[in-house]
Amino acid sequence: MNFSLSARPLSSTANRTTRPPFGPSWFAAVMGTGIVANAAVTLPWSFRGLRTAAMGVWLGAALLLILLAVGYLRQRALRLHAADPVMAQFFGAPPMALLTVGAGALLLGRRLIGLEGALAVDRVLWSLGTVLGLATACTVPYLMVTRHRFAPDAAFGGWLMPVVPPMVSAATGALLVPYTPAGQLRLALLLGCYAMLGLGLVAALLVLAMIYGRLVHHDAPTGTVVPTVWIGLGALGQSVTALGALAAVAPSALPAPYARGTAVFALLGGVVVWGFAMLWLALAVGLTVRTIRAGLPFAPTWWSFIFPVGACVTATGTLAARTGSEPFIWTTVVLYALLVIAWVVVAGHSVRHAAGLVCRRAVAGHGRRRRVDPDLRLDVATGLSGTVRTTTDGRPIPEARVTLLDPAGDVVGVTLTDEDGSYAFTDLKGDHYTLVAAGYPAQATPLTLDGTGQDAFHLTLAHDEA
């Protein structure tokens, strides 16, 4: 398939264009806000007013979840995002948002709605989040194998998002075990949580290996992609948290010898994984500092800082409670303080970013990219149009989906090509964009529009004849 681009004055018959304002990655704001509240419960020390403040933050996360869920469902952009190799990775964010808010209802919300009400809310949100998380963990890798195409350097932290939800289900499901009727039902819940922990942890380790290989063998990530490296810390921290939470409730469902084994596994396995998490933390901090020196513009990926640090707080707090180790205790407190500071900064930037238009971050630069020889002209930078054709015989391709992203990864416009393969975008105010073509194996290409009307770009997208 050949993408021929030319910027010219747009006619009144410009293509049908929709503008979905945000994608699933924005649910990371709910995850981050929720874990700031939930992590306060795991602190080894109690501070005056902390629980009340945490409850207020949890209420904010619950309200944000409702607003984002309603807004996202009204867009009806599920297929559009599933076709994009970058956006699809963040389908793991909505189920984790549900699970985080549900856990907060049981940890903090009971003071407002009572234990029975909190249990009802948590059971509903946990069940929905677990089903969606398992569906994401299975569906997104399948799409990656069968529909999407990736360059050797395409791996990034977002690839962890689809496989982490089962681990969050395991950690938050442990809260429901004591309130589940004793017998087979409680045993099934406990063993199911362990199975989901294994599913997520093994898959996460495989993805971490791919990300590490990409970091070693290719250029270091830059710009707004760098925060996604922190997602690896979240996956590791969540596994330690789940091990500790499940070991705490195992005696109520397992025979004594196996219950004691879960405690040993939680301690020794947790410390081992925590050590690896500290290595990943050091790597993430180094890359982030390096990028900040070069300039790190705000993007929704900044929320990748928050939930992973929160997971590290709960993991360290779990080990502190199990060992009574002073270094773990102090590390938990320091990490939580840093978490709150980071949350305030990112939330403030997000509010300012959403003041004009609520948009989503697609993690620009990590779809399957190719350096191209452009053939593009922009007339006073107000419009962009072109055609989509096959490489074999130059036939126009109708109904191909074309998406335009700004430098922050927000969707500027989405359109389908007409019968003659043409498309058009109007009212463009910037000069740097990423163009994503889908319908065939999707590919993203960065564009720079200088407004002179003289630039030219050529883009070829390969596809399977079958």
The pLDDT of residue 279: 95
| Of 71, 84, 78, 79, residue with least CA distance to 26 | 71
Q: What residue type is 57 in one-letter code?
A: V
For residues 353 and 127, the model is more confident at: 127
pLDDT tens, residue by residue, 42-82? 888 777 788 899 999 999 999 999 999 998 988 888 888 88
- Which SS3 state, helix, strand or coil, does residue 17 take? strand
DSSP string, 316-364: HHHHHHHH--HHHHHHHHHHHHHHHHHHHHHHHHHHHHHHH-------T
Nearest 5°: the CA angle 30, 235, 278 is 115
Average pLDDT over residues 190-207: 96
Per-residue pLDDT for 462 more than 80? no
**What is the pLDDT confidence band of residue 129, given thresholds at 50, 70 and 90?**
very high
Q: What pLDDT, in 10s, does the model give residues 370-397?
A: 443 444 444 444 577 777 766 556 677 7
Q: φ, ψ for residue 446 (rounded to 5)?
A: -75, 140
d(CA 149, CA 207): 16
Q: Which of 148-157, 258-267, 325-334, 435-444 has the lowest mean pLDDT?
A: 435-444
Tens of pLDDT along 315-353?
A: 999 999 999 999 999 999 999 999 999 999 999 988 887
Is 293 a residue whose pLDDT tops 70? yes
Look at phi and psi of residue 230 and say left if phi exceeds 0, alpha if psi is from -120 to 50, else beta: alpha
Task: Judge contact between 403 and 80, C-beta under 8 A.
Answer: yes
Q: Give yes or no for a contact between 25 and 363, defined as CB atoms under 8 angstroms apart.
A: yes
Lowest mean pLDDT across 21-35, 204-218, 252-266, 392-406: 392-406
State what percent of residues in the chain have pLDDT above 90. 54
pLDDT greater than 70 at residue 369: no
Beta strands 411-416 and 401-405 are antiparallel
Measured CA to CA in angstroms, residue 163 lies from 27, 45, 158 at distances of 16, 32, 10
Exposure string (b/e) for 243-256, b if CB count within 10 Å is 16 or more? bbbbbbbbeebbee
Q: What is the mean pLDDT of residues 421-432?
A: 71
**Mean pLDDT, residues 359-373 taken together:** 39
Q: How many residues can be counted in the chain?
A: 466
Q: How much is the pLDDT for 408? A: 54
Q: Taking the alpha carbons of 299, 301, 307, 310 in that order, is the dihedral positive or negative?
A: negative
Confidence band for 451, pLDDT divided at 50, 70 and 90: low
Q: What is the pLDDT of residues 142-180, one digit of tens each?
A: 999 998 888 888 889 999 999 999 999 999 999 999 999
Instruction: Express each pLDDT in 233-254 by its tens digit.
Output: 999 999 999 999 999 999 999 9
Give this prediction's pTM.
0.74
78-120 pLDDT per residue, tens: 888 888 888 899 999 999 999 999 999 999 999 899 999 999 9
CA–CA distance, 188 with 166 (Å, rounded to integer): 15
Mean pLDDT of the chain: 82
Show Cβ contacts of residue 90 under 8 Å, excluding neighbours closer than 6 positions: 23, 24, 25, 27, 28, 81, 158, 161, 363
Q: Give residue for tokens 């994401």.
A: 136
pLDDT for 12-29, tens place per residue?
A: 333 444 445 578 988 999
Task: Quote the pLDDT of residue 394.
Answer: 67
Residue 192 pLDDT > 50? yes
